[in-house]
C-alpha cells in the first residue's frame, strides 16, 4: 500500500545558526523550548490542548533532527514516572500535560519534587471536569501549589519558549534541584500563533550547558550505592522537607541571576519573579498572571491616558512566591485588584489569597479586591477589567 | 403538505444535543444504530439501561443516547460501572468506550474487571488510534502504520490483541465485529445483553479523519471497503489468532461464550452468606 499522506507541516525548518523569528503557536514554542534545551528523554500522553507539543517533538525525533528518546506511554501517571526514572538516571527530561492528565499524574508530581529531580513540565492550563471543558482555567497547575514545584506562568508564546530554557537552568542549579512547571493557557496561548524568536542553538548551549547532576543512579564515580525514595522516620523526614523549603526560597536568587544572564545573551526579559508596568505613582495596581497580565497592562495604559493612576503587576513565578518583591511594589499603593482565572470554591481567588497573606506578613494594610474571571475558558475582555478598576478607584 | 420524517432511532437519541461531534465517516454512528436496534428488538425498558463512557470520541456516546448516562474520566468507565452495578444489580450497565480509554489509560481496570467477572457489557470501539486528540499512536495501533506521534510508521509500539486479552483475563463473552458487519453486531449485542458476567464486544471502527487520512484511506467508503475485504468470519475462532496486522486479513466472530460462570455480584452475595453462617456459628459458641 502506498502511503498517500505526505507528512509535511507548513513550517520553516531549522537549518542554520542564525536566530529567526517565525509564527509559532504556544505549543510549538514549548516544543522549541524543549528542543533548544537539548532535552534527552521525553515521555507524554496525548491530551487536549497539550498534544501538539509532543507531536512536534516526536516528529523531530523521528526525522533525526533532534536527538532525544521519546516514550509513548499509556497514561500521564506513567509519563511522569518515566521522566522521573530518566531524571534519576541523570538525563535532562521533559513532559507536558493538561487538566485531567495533570490530575492523574498528581502522585508522581509530588514524588518528583520530593525526590529533588529537576524535571521540567509544560502545563497547558485547562479546566478540570465535570462538566467536560477543554478551555483555559488555572485550576490544574494551581492545585499543585504546595508540592514543591517552581511555577512559571507565561504571558505570551515567546515567554513560553524562553521560560522553558530558563527553567532548566534554574531547576538544575545545585542549590535548587526542584522541578519546574511552565504554564501556558489552553487555546489562549497553546493554539494561537505569535511571532516567536528561535534562538541560536550555540547561544542556548552557552547559556545552558549539558546537565551534570550532583547525584544520580548508577553514578560510576560514587563507590557506595545510593538508595532513593526509601521510608524515613518523621524526625528525618522533617529535615528533607526543610531542605526543600530552603531550596525553594534560595531559588529566588537563582531566578534573578538566570533572568539577568538570559537578558545579556538574548536581549529578552519577561521579568524575573514579577514584572511591573507603570506602577510608579500608581494609586491602583492590577495584579495578575499568565495572559491576563498582558490584558491588564493594556488596560492600565488606556486608563493612564484618561488620567487615572493605574499600574499592573504580573506575578511571573507563583512558586517561589515573590513575597518581598510584591510588597516592595505595593506598600505605598491605595488599592490592589487581583484578576485571575481561578476560584478557590467557598473562599476567594487563589492569587488574591496569597497576596493578602503576604501583605499581612509585612504589616501592610491595603484592600485587596479579588476578581475571578474567565473560568472554564471564558474570554477576559479589557472592558471587564476596566469596569472593575473604575468601580474600585 | 409537509410530512416530518422521523428517524427510526429518534426515540433513543437526545436530538436536542445534535449535531454530534463525530466526523463524517466515523464508525460511531453505525455502532449507535446497531445498539439502538438491539435494545428495540429485545424490548428492554430504557429506564433499566445505563451507559457509561470514558474519554475520547466514543466517550461522547453517553450524552447522545437517551438513557441515563455518565461521561466519566480518562480510563475510568469500568470502575465507575462496577460501582453502579453493585449498587443497582437490577440495571443493565453498558460501558462504551474506545481502545485508548479502555486499553491504555484504563487498561488496568479492563483486566481486573474481567478477572472478577463483573456483570457489565463493554463495547470496545477500536479505531486504532487516539482520535479525539488528533490521531496519536495507541495500544491497538497496528505495526507500521502512521500516526501523528509515529509520523514515519509505528515500529516501537506493538499492539494488544484485545480479544485475547479479554479472554485470558476471564471475560465470559468475547466477540469482534466491524462497523461493516452491522447485522452480526446487532445480534451479538442482543446475545451479550441476555448473558451475565463480563462481556466484551470489540467493534473495529473507522476513523478516516485521523487514522485513515494518514494511512491511504482518507475516503470514508474506502475505510468500510477495507473492513469488508479484510475481515474474515470464522466459526468458534481461537482468541490467540485474533491479531490485527495492517493490510492483512483478520478474524471476526464470537471467540468466547461461557454460560453459568459466577459473576462478581453473585460472589459478593455468596461471601455475605458464608460470613453470616460463620458469625451465627460463633454466636452459638
* CB contacts, 8 Å: B218 with chain A: 4-5
Does residue B160 form part of some domain?
yes
SS3 B250: strand
pLDDT for B1 equals 65
Instruction: Provide block-wise average pLDDT over 10 residues at a time, chain A (393 residues).
Output: 40 54 97 97 96 94 94 96 94 97 97 96 97 96 97 98 98 96 97 96 96 77 78 94 96 98 96 96 97 97 96 98 96 96 96 96 94 95 96 91
- Find cell 505495526 and name the residue: B143
Q: Please tell me the predicted confidence (pLDDT) of residue A221.
A: 74
How much is the pLDDT for A108?
97
Measured between alpha carbons, how far is B241 from B249 in angstroms, rounded to an integer?
11
Query: Which pLDDT belongs to residue A18?
Result: 55
Domain assignment present for B4 = no
Residue for grid cell 530554557:
A165
CA–CA distance, B138 with B18 (Å, rounded to integer):
29
Do the Cβ atoms of A375 and A127 come closer than 8 Å? yes
Q: Is residue B220 part of a domain?
A: yes
The set of cell numbers assigned to B241 is 489468532
User: Whole-angstrom Cα distance, residue A388 to residue A337?
Assistant: 8
- Cβ pair A70:B137 closer than 8 A: no
**In this predicted structure, what is the pLDDT of residue B39?**
92
CA of B157, closest CA in chain A: separation in Å?
8
Residues in chain B whose beta carbon is closer than 8 A to a beta carbon of chain A?
Answer: 55, 71, 73-75, 104-105, 107, 130, 132-134, 136-137, 139, 146, 148-152, 156-157, 213-216, 218, 247
C-alpha cell of residue B28: 460511531
Nearest CA in chain A to B54: A132
Structure confidence at residue A3 (pLDDT): 41
Residue appearing with cell numbers 462481556: B199
Which residue of chain A is at minimal alpha-carbon distance from B129?
A46
State whether residue A264 is helix, strand or coil: helix
How many domains are contained in chain B? 1
Equal CATH topology for A20-207 and A276-392? yes
Residue A6 confidence (pLDDT): 40
Q: What is the pLDDT of residue A237?
A: 95
Q: Measured between CB atoms, which of A2, A48, A54 is closest to B149?
A: A54
Nearest Cα to B177, choosing from B98, B248, B89, B251?
A: B251
Confidence category of residue B144, pLDDT binned at 50, 70, 90: very high
Tell me the CATH number at B245.
3.40.50.970
d(CA B119, CA B90): 11
Chain A residues at the B interface, defined by Cβ less than 8 Å, are 1-5, 7, 45-48, 51-52, 54-55, 58-59, 62-63, 70, 72, 74-76, 100-101, 104, 129-130, 132
- Identify any residues that bridge with B254 across adjacent strands, giving them in sequence order: B175
Confidence (pLDDT) at A1: 35
ipTM: 0.86
pLDDT band at B181 (very low <50, low <70, confident <90, very high): very high
Domain, as residue range, for B188: 11-284
Hey, are the CB atoms on A5 and B213 less than 8 Å from each other? yes
- CATH code of A20-207, in short, is 3.40.50.970
CA distance A386 to A371: 12
Instruction: List the single best residue of A72, A76, A129, A133 to mutate versus B (max B Cβ within 10 A).
Output: A72
Name which of B137, B215, B247 is nearest A72 (Cβ-Cβ).
B137
Q: Name the residue of chain A whose CA is nearest to B208's CA.
A: A5
What architecture (CATH level 2) is domain A276-392? 3-Layer(aba) Sandwich (3.40)
Average pLDDT over residues B8-18: 86
Q: Does B25 fall in a domain?
A: yes
Question: Which residues are A150's β-sheet partners?
Answer: A180
According to the model, what pLDDT value does residue B2 have? 72
Q: Return d(Cα A371, Cα A353) in angstroms, integer.
A: 11
Q: Domain segments of chain A: what residues?
A: 20-207, 276-392
Residue B264 lies in a domain: yes
Q: Which one-letter DSSP state was computed for residue B152?
A: T
Burial class (CB in 10 A: 0-12, 13-18, 19+), A203: middle
Burial class (CB in 10 A: 0-12, 13-18, 19+), B9: middle
Question: pLDDT band at residue B267, thresholds of 50, 70 and 90?
Answer: very high
Dihedral, CA of residue A184, residue A186, residue A192 and residue A195, to nearest 10: 10
- Residue A223 has a pLDDT of 73
A5: nearest CB among B130, B134, B214: B214
For B56, which residue in chain A has the nearest alpha carbon? A47
**Min CA distance, B133 vs chain A (Å)?**
6
Asked if residue B102 is part of any domain, the answer here is yes
Amino acid at each position: 500500500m502506498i502511503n498517500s499522506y505526505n507528512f509535511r507541516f507548513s513550517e520553516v525548518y531549522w537549518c542554520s545558526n542564525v536566530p529567526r523569528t517565525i509564527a509559532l503557536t504556544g505549543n510549538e514554542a514549548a516544543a522549541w523550548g524543549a528542543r533548544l534545551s537539548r532535552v534527552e528523554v521525553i515521555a507524554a500522553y496525548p491530551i487536549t490542548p497539550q498534544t501538539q507539543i509532543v507531536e512536534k517533538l516526536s516528529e523531530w525525533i523521528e526525522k533525526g533532527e533532534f536527538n532525544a528518546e521519546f516514550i509513548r506511554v499509556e497514561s500521564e501517571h506513567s509519563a511522569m514516572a518515566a521522566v522521573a526514572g530518566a531524571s534519576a538516571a541523570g538525563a535532562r527530561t521533559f513532559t507536558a500535560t493538561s487538566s485531567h492528565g495533570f490530575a492523574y499524574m498528581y502522585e508522581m508530581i509530588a514524588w518528583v519534587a520530593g525526590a529533588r529531580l529537576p524535571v521540567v513540565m509544560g502545563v497547558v492550563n485547562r479546566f478540570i471536569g465535570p462538566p467536560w471543558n477543554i478551555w483555559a482555567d488555572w485550576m490544574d497547575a494551581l492545585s499543585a501549589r504546595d508540592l514543591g514545584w517552581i511555577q512559571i506562568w507565561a504571558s505570551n508564546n515567546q515567554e513560553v519558549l524562553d521560560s522553558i530554557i530558563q527553567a532548566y537552568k534554574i531547576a538544575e542549579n545545585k542549590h535548587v534541584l526542584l522541578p519546574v512547571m511552565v504554564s501556558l493557557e489552553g487555546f489562549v496561548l497553546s493554539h494561537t500563533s505569535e511571532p516567536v524568536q528561535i534562538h541560536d542553538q550555540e547561544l542556548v548551549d552557552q547559556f545552558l550547558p549539558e546537565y551534570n547532576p550532583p547525584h544520580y543512579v548508577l553514578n560510576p564515580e560514587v563507590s557506595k550505592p545510593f538508595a532513593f525514595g526509601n521510608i524515613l522516620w518523621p524526625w528525618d523526614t522533617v529535615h528533607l522537607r526543610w531542605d526543600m523549603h530552603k531550596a525553594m526560597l534560595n531559588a529566588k536568587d537563582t531566578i534573578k541571576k538566570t533572568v539577568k544572564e538570559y537578558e545579556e545573551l538574548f536581549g529578552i526579559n519577561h521579568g524575573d519573579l514579577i514584572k511591573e508596568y507603570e506602577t510608579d505613582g500608581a494609586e491602583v495596581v492590577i495584579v495578575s498572571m499568565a495572559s491576563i497580565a498582558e490584558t491588564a497592562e493594556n488596560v492600565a495604559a488606556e486608563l493612564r491616558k484618561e488620567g487615572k493612576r493605574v499600574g499592573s503587576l504580573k506575578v511571573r513565578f507563583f512558586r517561589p512566591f515573590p513575597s518581598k518583591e510584591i510588597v516592595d511594589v505595593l506598600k505605598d499603593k491605595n488599592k490592589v485588584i487581583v484578576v485571575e482565572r481561578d476560584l478557590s470554591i467557598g473562599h476567594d481567588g487563589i492569587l488574591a489569597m496569597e497576596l493578602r497573606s503576604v501583605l499581612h506578613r509585612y504589616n501592610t494594610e491595603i484592600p485587596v479586591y479579588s476578581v475571578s474571571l474567565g473560568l472554564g475558558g471564558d474570554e477576559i475582555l479589557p472592558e471587564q477589567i476596566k469596569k472593575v478598576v473604575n468601580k474600585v478607584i | 403538505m409537509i410530512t416530518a420524517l422521523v428517524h427510526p432511532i429518534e426515540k433513543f437519541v437526545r436530538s436536542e444535543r445534535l449535531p454530534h461531534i463525530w466526523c463524517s465517516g466515523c464508525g460511531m454512528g453505525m455502532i449507535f444504530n446497531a445498539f439502538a436496534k438491539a435494545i428495540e428488538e429485545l424490548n428492554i425498558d430504557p429506564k433499566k439501561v445505563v451507559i457509561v463512557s470514558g474519554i475520547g470520541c466514543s466517550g461522547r456516546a453517553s450524552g447522545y443516547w437517551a438513557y441515563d448516562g455518565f461521561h466519566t474520566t480518562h480510563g475510568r468507565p469500568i470502575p465507575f460501572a462496577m460501582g453502579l452495578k453493585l449498587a443497582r444489580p437490577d440495571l443493565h450497565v453498558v460501558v462504551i468506550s474506545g481502545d485508548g480509554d479502555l486499553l491504555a489509560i484504563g487498561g488496568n481496570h479492563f483486566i481486573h474487571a474481567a478477572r472478577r467477572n463483573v456483570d457489565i457489557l463493554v463495547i470496545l470501539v477500536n479505531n486504532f488510534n487516539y482520535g479525539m486528540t488528533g490521531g496519536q499512536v495507541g495500544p491497538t495501533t497496528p505495526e507500521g502504520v502512521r500516526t501523528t506521534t509515529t509520523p514515519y510508521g509505528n515500529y516501537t509500539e506493538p499492539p494488544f490483541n484485545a480479544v485475547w486479552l479479554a479472554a485470558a483475563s476471564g471475560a465470559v463473552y468475547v466477540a469482534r465485529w466491524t462497523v461493516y458487519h452491522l447485522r452480526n453486531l446487532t445480534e451479538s449485542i442482543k446475545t451479550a445483553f441476555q448473558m451475565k458476567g463480563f462481556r466484551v464486544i470489540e467493534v473495529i471502527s473507522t476513523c478516516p479523519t485521523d487514522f485513515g487520512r494518514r494511512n491511504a484511506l482518507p475516503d470514508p467508503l474506502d475505510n468500510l471497503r477495507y473492513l469488508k475485504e479484510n475481515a474474515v468470519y470464522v466459526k468458534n475462532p481461537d482468541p490467540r489468532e485474533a491479531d490485527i496486522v495492517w493490510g492483512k486479513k483478520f478474524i471476526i466472530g464470537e471467540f468466547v461464550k461461557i454460560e453459568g460462570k459466577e459473576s462478581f455480584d453473585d460472589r459478593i452475595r455468596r461471601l455475605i452468606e458464608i460470613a453470616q453462617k460463620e458469625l451465627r456459628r460463633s454466636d452459638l459458641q
